Amino acid sequence: MGVPAFFRWLSEKYPRTVLDMVEQRPQVVDGVPLPMDLRAPNPNNMEFDNLYIDMNGIIHPCSHPEDRPTPKTEAEMFVNVMVYVDRIFAAVRPRRLVFLAIDGVAPRAKMNQQRTRRFRSAGDARERHEIKVATRQEMVEMGLPVPPEELDKEWDSNVITPGTEFMVTLASYLRFYVAHRVNTCKAWQQVKVLFSDGSEPGEGEHKIMDFIRKERAQPGYDPNTRHILHGLDADLIMLALATHEPHFTILREQVFFGRRGRDGPQVSAAQSAFDAMQGQKADDGLARGEGSRFPYLKPFQMLHIPTLREYLEEEFRSLRDLPFGYNFERVVDDFVFLCFFVGNDFLPHLPSLDIRDGAIDFLLNVYKRVLPAMGDYLTAPGGTVNLEQVDIILAEVGRVEDEVFRRRRAGEEQHQARLNRRVREVERRHGGTVQELSARIVPADVQPLGRPKLPHPVPRLSPMASPFLPAPPGPSPEEKNMKNKSVAQQLREKLKKPKRELENGVAGVEGGPEASDAPIGDDCEAGMKHELDHTTKMETPIIEACDGAKPVKRVKTEDSNIMDDKTDLVILKEPGSVTALGMSVEVCLETTTSAQDSQEGTKEVEEDEEDVGDDAMGEEEDKEEFEDPHIVVPPELEGTELAAAQKELAERVKSKQEARLDRLKEEIEDTIRYHEAGWKDRYYQNKLKKQNLEKGGGREHMYRTYIEGLCWVFQYYYRGCQAWGWFYPFHYAPFASDLVNIERYHVAFEAGKPLRPLEQLMAVLPPESADALPVPLARLMTSQDSPIKDFYPRDVEVDPNGKAMPWLWVTLLPFIDETRLLDAGGRGCARQSVCGG
């Protein structure tokens, strides 16, 4: 996540750092994508050697997208991920290396943020469900068609966490995907492929940076290597600067702000011109209708780090005559460090430094003004922070805190005054209050009770419309027979299946994790053949989709199946270790200790998300509950009628959520009143903040640990994780004026070791996601008799902290006591062997 709004600030201050990427999209003839030669020159007139993909940055949007329907099965999500990797590879066309990195267990400092996000996600889902229930009832009473309640069930995105069955299965799919690519596509055969899954500790982007640092230290390293890293996190920009590589590019999806952002993705002029030269329509890959190429919905942009470095050289030109010697590389390091003050994933930002208030520009101006008199830079090579110099910067910030808070308040009042003027103008023009005008509006698509007739069919997004990946196989005979059965009958038939079959189920393309019988582990060969039969059965061969390559001949040895000497697939399993693994198409999936391997088959099998027809209430006992003449029976829907009802429900729910936000803006009170004298006393005497301080160890401990945190983050960016167990034990940050004489703090860290995947799951998941864990550990999260039940509150206290928007509120989750967690988890594991690895 990194620094909120940092990319916007950067792209507006240094606009030429961001360029639109031109992509060669495949020609489509009669619905069939024509093959492309990915060994041809990159259409952007620049070449890249090494491609790095922070996989979590594409797993999330491919699994629970915001701009299209959620995939129906987890297997469909896995396919989306592979399709998106294909798109990135085709756009970049790397010449030497591809590194796919999935997040593993994170440092404890990051876990606190992950825990907050996941608890918020569970709370938001609960709130949406409550709003949907109320909205559904309103629609029934109004005589509007209502979609079946079964479709309201949301997929739990919290399973995108290392150690879950979902992540283990995804890693298996990706191993097979890479093996297939290097066996059938010449462009993939010419690069080395690295893959690091969730079993290796560390965040994906930091695994990548660790690899780059090690490569730079090797004799014979080419300093002109051209790197490109795909990811949306703003901290990737700082990580790229920290490498000091002269040729580094960040690849990300198109982002527009303000009015341009509301218009959605837009095709760049360069892309339109390129498409015209290729004889393509500009929107061939962007249409959202039937056969849509979903990966192309958001065009790519490139942020060039060399251009940013040139901007920074010009920004700090005035420092070239420093009395202690000018070193631009150290200035870059100081710039990275200063950005930590306005936000990072490990510490709350200082209250007086908000990037939207111009905090970075202010810090840069202070830095340029005081650096000549400081005697040294803020940082030193190797990830060291010079606290004596940092103290000078903090003193400058502390001196202007009062003025910052006053100006912030004045800006908020001016903004509110503008909004009020607009409201009054609308009311004057239309003759009535906003509430009265809203009540007069009748949605144009409101239909009476019954089945609405729409003038145009609503197209369904194709889950596998990829020019690089085969189309999914059609439904099996069993699924065709099941389609018209009632939901209750389907559930009964599933429950009749043998217990062991349910335990060993692995996601397949047809039915997801619940429907497949492909094993992972003992029968590897048979399992992969099952994957070949069900996942890669092709209507359009993958081989043609690349460049007409034939499978690579290989010589089988006693140790491994070795491909030709041009291609290596490397699986990273332990920190710092790299083992080469030759993979054939019938590659044996590795057994990974995780929730999937260990969990007993006691979880209830979830129902497939199928469209329910007119016989959805099949059983007589189900019909009886609607015999009351006073109950309005919603009509049964299908096809376009169902899509229209879902859209109507979604719009009404969204309207209620927006109304709630409007109420919060009026109800939330700024009790601290930073713009008035005495704000600091009110801040520390606030009940919630006072309690948090007492639990954490007091103000002095807050000051010390915040400075420790700044040093920890800087070392993390430049040397990797130096202390797995360190974290900031407060929910609030101190003020800059509190951090004085910080050179008195001696900062040292103990390396420690990372948690295991299941232990991290217990540390970050809310009780609503307990099903992602083996039953003995899940009970520790949900049982009232659990010795650690206080770690998993259902209702989490929040502090609006003067902010109107809920996502800006401080979530006051209790910090995990690692000793208690491991002790309780160990007892849970003792009752059942589930905690290997």
Per-residue pLDDT of 724-770, as tens digits, reads 999 999 999 999 999 999 999 999 999 999 999 999 999 999 999 99
Q: What's the CA gap between 616 and 145, in Å, rounded?
A: 15
Residue 2: per-residue pLDDT: 54
Amino acid present at 152? D
Average pLDDT over residues 332-349: 92
The bridge status of strand 810-811 relative to strand 798-799 is antiparallel
Give yes or no for a contact between 204 and 109, defined as CB atoms under 8 angstroms apart: no
Residue 828: per-residue pLDDT: 59
Residue 657: Cβ-neighbour burial (10 angstroms; 0-12, 13-18, 19+): middle
Residue 237: Cβ-neighbour burial (10 angstroms; 0-12, 13-18, 19+): buried
Closest CA to 600 of 498, 499, 494, 492: 499
Average pLDDT over residues 644-651: 84
For residue 471, what are the CA distances in angstroms to 83, 545, 813? 11, 12, 45
Give yes or no for a contact between 241 and 339, defined as CB atoms under 8 angstroms apart: no
Residue 489: per-residue pLDDT: 52
Write out the DSSP string of 8-25. Answer: HHHHHHSGGGEEEPP--P
- Fold designation for 1-106+162-315+442-472+501-599: Rossmann fold (3.40.50)
Mean pLDDT score across all residues of the chain: 77
Residue 487: per-residue pLDDT: 44
338-352, 657-671, 682-696: lowest mean pLDDT where?
657-671
303 secondary structure, DSSP code = E
Average pLDDT over residues 351-364: 91
Give 394 or 579, the one with higher predicted confidence: 394
> Who's near 201: CB < 8 A, 6+ residues apart?
104, 105, 106, 575, 724, 754
Residue 575 confidence (pLDDT) above 60: no
Summarised one tens digit per residue, pLDDT across range 819-832 is: 999 998 876 564 54
Give yes or no for a contact between 237 and 360, defined as CB atoms under 8 angstroms apart: no
Number of helices and strands in the chain (H, E): 30, 17
Give how far the C-alpha of residue 338 lies from the chain's centroid of Cα atoms, to the nearest Å.
25
For residue 42, what are the CA distances in angstroms to 78, 89, 182, 268, 281? 27, 11, 20, 17, 20
104-108, 223-227, 642-646: lowest mean pLDDT where?
642-646
Rg (CA), the chain: 28
Summarised one tens digit per residue, pLDDT across range 622-635 is: 433 334 444 444 55
Q: With the C-alpha atoms ordered 614, 616, 618, 623, is the resulting torsion angle positive or negative?
A: negative
Cα diameter, the chain: 90
Most confident of 279-293, 346-360, 719-733: 719-733
Residue 759: per-residue pLDDT: 94
Closest CA to 266 of 292, 291, 298, 293: 298
Helix (H, G, I), strand (E, B) or coil at 152: helix
Residue 588: per-residue pLDDT: 33
Per domain, the residue ranges of the chain are 1-106+162-315+442-472+501-599, 316-406+672-739
Q: What's the CA gap between 517 and 508, in Å, rounded?
A: 8
Summarised one tens digit per residue, pLDDT across range 665-686 is: 777 778 888 888 888 888 888 8
Residue 434: per-residue pLDDT: 67
Q: What's the CA gap between 325 and 323, in Å, rounded?
A: 6
Residue 315 confidence (pLDDT) above 90: yes
Residue 578: per-residue pLDDT: 36
Summarised one tens digit per residue, pLDDT across range 576-615 is: 433 333 333 333 333 333 444 444 443 333 333 333 333 4
For residue 677, what are the CA distances in angstroms to 394, 664, 702? 21, 26, 23
Q: Which long-range contacts (CB under 8 A, 24 or more apart) does 55-59 make?
A: 55/81, 55/100, 55/101, 55/102, 55/103, 55/174, 55/204, 56/102, 56/103, 56/160, 56/204, 57/204, 57/230, 57/231, 57/232, 57/233, 58/84, 58/85, 58/88, 58/230, 59/102, 59/160, 59/170
Give how far the C-alpha of residue 4 lies from the chain's centroid of Cα atoms, to the nearest Å.
14
Q: How many CB atoms lie within 10 A of CB 156?
A: 20
Give 1 or 566, the one with higher predicted confidence: 1
Summarised one tens digit per residue, pLDDT across range 773-830 is: 999 999 999 999 999 999 999 888 888 887 878 888 889 999 999 999 999 887 656 4
Helix (H, G, I), strand (E, B) or coil at 609: coil
Place of tokens 């498409």: 275
512 secondary structure, DSSP code = B
Residue 393: per-residue pLDDT: 96
Place of tokens 């200063």: 338
| H or E element in which residue 92 lies | helix 74-92
Q: What's the CA gap between 706 and 746, in Å, rounded?
A: 13
296: pLDDT confidence band, cut at 50, 70 and 90? low
259: pLDDT confidence band, cut at 50, 70 and 90? low
347: pLDDT confidence band, cut at 50, 70 and 90? very high
The bridge status of strand 379-380 relative to strand 384-385 is antiparallel
Give yes or no for a contact between 513 and 506, defined as CB atoms under 8 angstroms apart: yes
Residue 589: per-residue pLDDT: 34
Residue 472: per-residue pLDDT: 40
Give yes or no for a contact between 383 and 432, defined as CB atoms under 8 angstroms apart: no
Residue 437: per-residue pLDDT: 65
**Three-point CA angle 231, 100, 109, nearest 5°:** 60
Residue 478 confidence (pLDDT) above 80: no
**Three-point CA angle 6, 702, 823, nearest 5°:** 100
Q: What's the CA gap between 314 and 368, in Å, rounded?
A: 12
The bridge status of strand 248-253 relative to strand 50-54 is unpaired
The first and second tokens of residue 81, run together, are 């991920």
| Overall size of the chain counted in residues | 837
> Who's near 86: CB < 8 A, 6+ residues apart?
295, 466, 467, 468, 469
Q: What's the CA gap between 305 and 307, in Å, rounded?
A: 5
**Three-state helix/strand/coil letters over 370-401:** HHHHHCCCCEECCCEECHHHHHHHHHHHHHCH
**Three-point CA angle 742, 738, 805, nearest 5°:** 125
Give yes or no for a contact between 271 and 282, defined as CB atoms under 8 angstroms apart: yes
Write out the DSSP string of 724-779. Answer: TT-----SS---GGG--SGGG---------PPPHHHHHHHH--GGGGGGS-HHHHH
Average pLDDT over residues 492-514: 42
Give yes or no for a contact between 761 and 780, defined as CB atoms under 8 angstroms apart: no
Closest CA to 452 of 71, 133, 139, 131: 139
